[in-house]
Chain A
Amino acid sequence: MDLEVLLKTLFIILVVVGAFAPVITWVERKQSAVMQDRIGANRADIAGITVLGLFHPLADVIKLLSKEDVVPEGAHRGMHLVAPLVAAIPAIIAFAVIPYGSSYRFGEDTLSLVVADIDWGLLYVFAIGSIATYGTVMAGWASNNNWSLLGALRASAQMISYEVTMGLSVVGVFMVFQTLRLTDMAHAQDTTFRLLGFLEWGGLVESLPAWLDWIRIPKWGIVLQPLGFIMFLTASMAENKRPPFDNPEAESELVAGYFTEYSGMRFGLFYMSEFIEVVVIGGLVTAIFLGGWAIPFVSQEAFIGGLGGVLGEGFATLLCMVAHVVSFFAKVVVMIYVQMLLRWTLPRFRYDQVMDLCWKILLPLSLANILVTGLVLLLVEGGAA
């Protein structure tokens, strides 16, 4: 049992920190280059082989590790050294509750692909997200630099504000799926519903012709809560402090904001934790809104039932597990791509615009979303649409 948890944790850390995050640093540069009609990073090579510049993350790590680790004069030494860790750890442990596969029966044993399957999974993510502020604040204050301090002030105000909206924007999803457990949420999305079925609720149509039953769409969070999806993505990108919400580090105003005084691998940790958070946001959005590990139109029972007769139950289950994990990470990749696209498309907002967007637009909208969701759920008795 303990070994199983250890292996699952190791898998997540290897995939997210070891594979996704470094590759994203390359994607970020390469994608910006493509979007701006440049060639981008392509020089780092091992014996002449460059593989599109994929060795650049490796070169970066070697460079950062060999750089001098500067602690500025007058800085609070202990806090300055600890701050990057405080920023990086919440980003990594948030992935503990995100399911990257369903649960599978192999004979007597069941294997569920999530590190910690807890009843309050989504609340755990919010709690961890609220702790993430401290890394920034500590870094900014401990650096004894006014740019850093201003960056930390901006970061703390921005992150507190968007935490509220982020929480409220997914309340509609709790109401639809009637759970906070992320694994249950993914299971609830592993099905489809009739696209025109709502016509029958109000008695608009006596009964629909049978062939309309074939027009079905996956019962994903994004279909049931489209507004919630947009608001959650916006709020979580603002929480991550990446462009267009990068006011805490705004290069044109604050040099580099809260990590101005960081060098070497300590700067690298801030940099990496940002990219790890990009993956975490991708995973969360996938689990809540994009059906998690679910393959559209092919539910787990249908998959195992359909192939079990031909290949044998055990092998079909194994195949299903692999397919689900691939499906999950494919969706995560899409969400990462969307975030990168937004990052290189939109210019930075002014600070008052960031705050206005949060308190004057997203917050009232999320409250209205809760109200409308509640009304619809009451009208459609029997629960989830």
Chain B
Amino acid sequence: MIQVLFSLFALLAVIGALAMVLNVRNTIAAALSLVVTMISLGGIFVLLEAHLVAVIQIMVYAGAIVVVFLFVVMLLNLRRDVFGPSGQRLTKALGAVAGVWLVYRLLVLLEGRLPATQPLPDGFGGYRDVGMALFTDFLLPFEVTSLLLLAAIVGAIVLAKRRLD
């Protein structure tokens, strides 16, 4: 059952990712394909018993971030002609490098052997353990991240305000 579900979600994730990249003409369709990938990844996380990560994957990435993408795309009414040819050569070159690196890593993985699986500790992937870890062992990084986000929000508002005034 888990095998079947995993294959289904993995297939959907790959299809969504391909559809996103290949849908150059229709930005909204590309963003919606990204949502399919995000939700499939959420499903895979559930199968891996990482429930909190799965929920956050869906709530934050699929539910919030891509909605904001869509909002911006619809607000600016982006069409294909907006994305001029400028910078495309660099993007393609970087993409080629990343692709070669990915194939290399996959080959290395196929060569090697996966480590033996261990039984999961109690409460693995639940919100309790993640919360305890965040507020004890990783308190400082957690707080610093929140400061960083706050600075980003204030920065965005200052930039937007300057335009308005």
- CB within 8 Å of B: which residues of A? 76, 79, 118-120, 123-124, 126-127, 129-131, 133-134, 137-138, 140-141, 149, 152-153, 156-157, 159-160, 163, 180
Contacts and interface: CB of A to CB of B under 8 A. Distances in A.
Contacts of B63: 127, 129-131, 133, 163
B74 A153 contact: yes
User: What interface size band does chain B fall in?
Assistant: 20 to 34
Contacts of A130: 58-59, 62-64, 67
For the complex, would chain B's binding face be called helix, strand, loop or mixed by DSSP majority? helix
A160 B67 contact: yes
A120 B131 CA distance: 13
Contact of B32 (A123, A138, A159, A163): A138
Interface of B: 26, 28-29, 32, 35, 39, 42, 51-52, 55, 58-59, 62-64, 67-68, 70-71, 74-75, 126-127
Nearest to A152: B74
Contacts of A138: 32
Contacts of A160: 64, 67-68
A120 B126 contact: yes
B34 to A, nearest CB: 11
B59 A153 contact: no
Nearest to B60: A130
Contacts of B58: 127, 130-131
B29 A123 contact: no
18 contacts: A76-B28, A118-B51, A120-B55, A120-B126, A124-B55, A126-B59, A127-B42, A127-B63, A130-B58, A131-B39, A133-B67, A134-B32, A149-B74, A153-B74, A156-B70, A156-B74, A160-B64, A160-B68
8 closest cross-chain pairs (CB), A and B = A130-B63, A127-B58, A123-B55, A127-B59, A127-B55, A156-B71, A130-B59, A120-B51
Contacts of B68: 160
A373 to B, nearest CB: 16
Nearest to A180: B127
Contact of A137 (B42, B51, B67): B67
A96 to B, nearest CB: 13
A265 to B, nearest CB: 23
Given A127-B59, A127-B63, A137-B70, A153 B75 contact: yes
B69 to A, nearest CB: 10
B74 A141 contact: yes
Contacts of A149: 74
B55 A79 contact: no
A231 to B, nearest CB: 19
A134 B35 CA distance: 9
A160 B64 CA distance: 6
B64 A120 contact: no
A149 to B, nearest CB: 6
A157 B51 contact: no
A98 B64 CA distance: 24
B68 to A, nearest CB: 7
Contacts of B35: 134
Contacts of A152: 74
Contacts of B64: 130, 160, 163
Contact of A120 (B26, B75, B127): B127
Contacts of A133: 63, 67
Contact of A126 (B29, B55, B71, B75): B55
Contacts of B70: 137, 141, 156
A41 to B, nearest CB: 37
Contacts of A124: 55
